Amino acid sequence: MRSLVQDFIHLFYPETCTGCGVTLLDNEQTICVACRVNLPVAYHDLMHNDKMSQLFYARVAIEHCTSLLYYEKVGTVQRLVHALKYQQQEQIGLFLGKWIGSLMCDDERFKDVDMVVGVPVHPKRKRKRGYNQTTQFGKCIAAGLGVRFRESVLTKTRNTIKQAQLNQRQRSDESQSPYQITEAFEPGLHILLVDDVVTTGTTLTLCTRALQQVANTRISIATMGISV
Ligand SMILES: [Zn+2]
């Protein structure tokens, strides 16, 4: 049965598949069954290789990290993330968050997470978009794990140049972090930090460093996608 929120969303968004554009059946949401079964799921694969944790090696201490899907420049995952970020389709965060949340709640690595925090976007961008694309994703994971979600623990204080426009050398310069803690939290927490797509890991590294300014904070990471 659909929730009121979903009914509300469906008033405004045509029920077509974000992957291929076909009209969705009543029992389908966001993407059709054919597109869904073909999504490149990364979650189980990442449990057996350290491709994701390597991004943070020698940069910052991470407890555990995971990602739901493999992200390629072209394909259904790219279309999902693009629609979430640029086409007002906030419900995609809900869809992906429920999915990964159902996997994470059975995963020993995340059993002692205390709180879920989203990577912030600059307030100007959030106003333009109307939401932070990691919020619904983070809320669903928090609900799955039975812990609290906090949206405003971190703030992005500068709207830096888009990472895509930076070269590799500039990307690795983390000395001028735009991320700061703006809401206090207690020491000693295991925080799950969530984001849309991890590529170089720089954003998540900077956010982790900010959060670890509070004593004995342990950080794990979950993202919608990991670039391949
Ligand atoms: Zn489809």
What was the pLDDT predicted at 2? 57
Please give the distance, rounded to the nearest whole angstrom, from the Cα atom of residue 112 to the centre of ligand 1: 36
Taking phi over 0 as left and psi of -120 to 50 as alpha, with beta for the rest, 88 belongs to left
State whether 32 and 97 are in the same domain.
no
Domain count, the chain: 2
CA distance 30 to 25: 10
Please give the distance, rounded to the nearest whole angstrom, from the Cα atom of residue 52 to the centre of ligand 1: 28
Please give the distance, rounded to the nearest whole angstrom, from the Cα atom of residue 36 to the centre of ligand 1: 7
State whether 128 and 146 are in the same domain.
yes
State whether 218 and 132 are in the same domain.
yes
**pTM score, whole prediction:** 0.88
State whether 125 and 199 are in the same domain.
yes
State whether 198 and 117 are in the same domain.
yes
State whether 135 and 73 are in the same domain.
yes
Please give the distance, rounded to the nearest whole angstrom, from the Cα atom of residue 100 to the centre of ligand 1: 20
Tokens read off for 74: 């072209």
pLDDT by position in tens, the chain (length 228): 556 776 666 666 568 999 999 999 988 888 999 999 999 999 999 998 889 999 999 999 999 999 999 999 999 999 999 999 999 999 999 999 999 999 999 999 999 999 999 999 999 989 999 999 999 999 999 999 999 999 999 999 887 655 545 555 555 555 678 999 999 999 999 999 999 999 999 999 999 999 999 999 999 999 999 999
What was the pLDDT predicted at 14? 60
Please give the distance, rounded to the nearest whole angstrom, from the Cα atom of residue 187 to the centre of ligand 1: 45
Please give the distance, rounded to the nearest whole angstrom, from the Cα atom of residue 20 to the centre of ligand 1: 4
Tell me if 93 sits within 8 A of 137, measured CB to CB: yes
State whether 27 and 98 are in the same domain.
no
Please give the distance, rounded to the nearest whole angstrom, from the Cα atom of residue 14 to the centre of ligand 1: 14
Please give the distance, rounded to the nearest whole angstrom, from the Cα atom of residue 28 to the centre of ligand 1: 10
Residue whose C-alpha is closest to residue 193's, from 122, 116, 134: 116
State whether 79 and 20 are in the same domain.
no
Hey, which residues does 169 pair with through a beta bridge? none
State whether 132 and 196 are in the same domain.
yes
State whether 58 and 31 are in the same domain.
no
Burial of residue 7 (number of CB atoms within 10 Å: 0-12, 13-18, 19+): exposed
What was the pLDDT predicted at 168? 52
Please give the distance, rounded to the nearest whole angstrom, from the Cα atom of residue 213 to the centre of ligand 1: 44
Please name the residue that has the structure tokens 């899907």: 69
State whether 129 and 16 are in the same domain.
no
Please give the distance, rounded to the nearest whole angstrom, from the Cα atom of residue 24 to the centre of ligand 1: 8
State whether 52 and 28 are in the same domain.
no
Q: Which domain holds residue 25?
A: 1-38
Hey, which residues does 155 pair with through a beta bridge? 180
Residue 59's domain is classified under what CATH number? 3.40.50.2020
